[in-house]
Amino acid sequence: MEAINTVPECGHGTPCLSWPELIPGILVKRYKRFLADITLETGETITAHCPNSGRMTGCSTPGRPVYVSLQNSPKRKLKYTWELIDMPDSLVGINTQVPNRLVYQAVKTGTVAGLGGYETIRREVRAGAHTRFDLMLGNGDGAECYVEIKNSTLVENRVAFFPDAVTSRGKNHLVELQNLVKAGHRCAMFFLVQRMDAASFEPADHIDAAYGKELRAAVRNGVEIMAYDVHIDLAGIRLRNPLAWKLP
């Protein structure tokens, strides 16, 4: 048996988030997870902060065009942040802070039909002793909707996958969401694909089988799945289409 959900395309709109001023360059290498050497058009090679702790398979190829932002805060050790990479079939968003901001804005403005009708929206809400969830929606009746947002950048043969590395933290989120469903709350996993070349979404069983197994259990126990791709260009990024998802 496989659980399958197909969804229609949604309409187009303006970007929910605009990029800071982008500076073009060429990726030399990404290393130690959070560092990337990039050669700018001036010929200078800089080290930029890489705001992504995953493996970044398929979106960290040396020699590809990339875009960084410049932030001159004295509190920052690295003043450049790697924002985008231009892969053959799509620009790809690198910054894992973007999905939370983007989905929050989309839900707040009513772009996500499945998460409409709530009076309040809160971010980074604690649920349990050691767990926070990205969004909590409510109507003041005590039955909240908890939403956990995950960033997907791994696409193979037009299928987007999550995770791109083993994630015990992600598995724990699924366990806690199931507990919240048992307590009478609505819960959803929201997978945001930060690129434009995916037609569907699946758990990455070939990378983290335990996560895939727990996701299937979560769906059986009432946790919803939502998957969206984005429209992404050098001006900004917005939610584009809901993607079909399946649990083979």
pTM for the full model? Answer: 0.92
> Quick one: pLDDT band at residue 2, thresholds 50, 70, 90?
very low
Per-residue model confidence (pLDDT) at position 130: 80
Query: pLDDT (tens digit, 9 = 90+) per residue, 39-95?
Result: 999 999 999 999 999 999 999 999 999 999 999 888 899 999 999 999 999 999 999
CA-CA distances (angstroms) from residue 247 to 41, 196, 197, 201, 239?
Answer: 44, 21, 20, 9, 23
- Indicate the CATH number for domain 20-89: 2.40.50.580
DSSP state of 115: G
Q: Where do the domains of the chain lie?
A: 3-15+95-247, 20-89
What CA–CA distance (Å, rounded) separates 158 from 160? 7
Give the CA diameter of the chain. Answer: 59
- Indicate the CATH number for domain 3-15+95-247: 3.40.1350.60
**Position 233 pLDDT exceeds 60:** yes
Amino acid at 209: A
Cβ atoms of 25 and 38 within 8 Å: the answer is yes
